Chains A and B, each alone.
Chain A
Amino acid sequence: MKIVVGQGSCGIAAGAGKIYDYFKENTSFAEISITGCIGMCYLEPIVDVIHDGIKRTYCKVSADILPEFSKALEEKDFENELLKKYELKDEDKAFLEKQTRIALRNCGIINPESIDDYIQAGGYKALTKVLEEMTPEQVIEVIKTSGLAGRGGAGFPTWFKWNAARQSQSEQKYLICNADEGDPGAFMDRAVIESDPHNLIEGMLIGAYAIGASEAVVYVRAEYPLAIVRLTNAIKQAEERGFLGNNIAGSGFSCKMRIKAGAGAFVCGEETALIESLEGQRGMPRLKPPFPAQKGYWQQPSNINNVETFANVAWILSNGGEAFAAMGTEDSKGTKVFALTGKIKRGGLVEIPMGKTLRDVIFDIGGGIRNNKEFKAVQMGGPSGGCIPTELLDTVIDYKKLSATGAIMGSGGMVVMDETTCMVDMARFFLDFTAKESCGKCIHCRIGTKRMLEILNRIVNGEGRDGDIELLEELCMTIKDGALCGLGQTAPNPVLTTIKYFRNEYEAHIYDKKCPAGHCASLITYQIDADKCRGCTLCARQCPVGAISGKVKEPHVIDTEKCIKCGKCRESCKFGAIHV
């Protein structure tokens, strides 16, 4: 028997570390191993048990059931009530079965700390084939056939960038992997590095061979310590096996690889700012042209790709560009990974072929909205993207079609919102983010985002003025036109899309001084529904300012003068009697 405990960051956060320790210390009847993130984050901690060639998956395993759980396993009593209770349900199986996994093909399946597991899963075959049989030009041709486009946000054809870097003449070229994953709400890059680091290394090496780079750097976000540990370990293993370093697999091709930990700055996800940061500078974007393919890291030709882009490369070289291009739409080929989060029932990582609709992902795979609430919008592309409303749920996942909505494909963050999410507050949230993260180099971005934030702040605080919406729109256009880099040019998107699709919410805030979602504290009043209130006194005890009064077993009332709108009463009420 083999017991495999999922040990991605989310699994560990849910308590998988303790579960692994327990099995490791107390189990003699089975081999204990780990794996990365399978993407069913809503079911963590997850334990796979493989016995007689059959794999059974157990979800939300908690530390307190372990003794009994482990006893049942030892007795191979798989029909045991407890085991049955924790076993993966059919509806949850569908979460995985409805996906097509290429970038994530090994995630949650192999042991990310073992190069042998990766090799057994067919790893490093593509690299060996490339080095033995193919010229760099042929590799670029295969990538061109595949139609692979950058997964970091912009969706630029990968072969074109590789070819440009290949064409640049220089002794020294660099290949850089962008693992800065700045979109708050996206975590597929982290999952790939933590769960299948060799897949990234192999993809990068193929890229390095194609452009002629002898040095590769992975720029990893500072907030991902586990990813750094796993990747460091994988690089060491690959060196030991001769897949990295001098004369790789006897081919004469040499390439070394190192990790650079970022230091926390969203703008460093922008490729030229990333290069500045790699050089030890403040991460401020450079003017393009020259493009990195001509003058990048240390002024040498450099190619930068996102983690997920590289994660597709080895598969494409093994299976052929046509197989990849067979999936997707006219403009967008292959698959895309989405990080499904927010008010969703089944949140996690979803990899599907391009061409599916948003509804497929959110409702069919993700199971729709939690707690029987109403879907309102999905945010895609993070601070550079926008909010897509219910009417557009049938939009096809494709770079052009998504851009047409005003949002973007982005790196794949999909934050789902329900009726209780205030869209003006969301816009304010993103502007607060971009205003803080603006590097300050250009005025439009530095001051423009600040002015927009001020307006949004006053709207959510109930001090919005007539003309604010128009002023916001005007500022948006000016910033879009004037900003130097992608950060500023796209910063207005969250505001523009919320105005476009949810203008009524802005108007309600400004003219009626109301927040339709019941979110913005300055614009709501808490009330107790006398019919529902049972007089349990819980709310009165929770209220920090003593604004709630009433006798036991009689309906209570809130003194709106005293109320500070903290919402504690509503949270504590077991009868849903408190509303805004």
Chain B
Amino acid sequence: MSFLALLLTLIFVLIPLILSKTLRLGLEKDTLIATVRSIIQLFAVGYVLQFIFESENMLYIFLMVTLMIGAATQNARKKGASIKGITWKLVLTFVVIEVLTQGILLGLQITPPTAQYIIPLSGMVIGNSMVLGILFLNRFTSEVASRREETELILSLGGTPKQAIQKSLLASIKASTIPTIESQKTIGLVQLPGMMSGQIIAGADPLKAVMFQLLILFLLLTTAIVTSIMLGFLSYPTKFTERMQMIE
């Protein structure tokens, strides 16, 4: 794509601006901010990636992944504000997911150990893990609240905190993992996954693009279930005191 072509794509920004103005939707300011931010952020990432790809230095890859984990933690921790030590629990979860998935990918030589593979795949895994983490934390908070009486009943009869919260825990793990599984059932039927579309447009062989897309889908299944299970088992003890009492 030429620079002129890119400039011309700004027409797609002008259309909403004009429509918003004439219909007084008041979306002009946000549209402009979004446009400017996406241009700056994506070009910045592009240049950084270009730099890292050319240098092929593992240290830069490591820094990039660390940055991703930091940003994901920052985003997800707000949802878990009621859980003590949520920050390090999220960090631990993201690190385990990253090490686990890259360990398998690189260890079995499924993908080559280059920045070109490690960075985008890590980005997808950590990004999805973050979304899953937020989903899980939302669900867990509401499950615990709605099953309060049940949890207390089990405690009152001499159950451990784990026995008392088991139903809430399993229900939230299940509920947060289901969308990932469900979305994979219809994938390709309604719309092509974004990354696959991008690859095809960039000139890749469609079947190769499909193979990569499958790799990512399977990767995300592991990401989803490991994230919610890990966060679940790290979080539930914070709902109880040392004397096995429920915390508000």
The yes or no verdict on A and B being binding partners is no
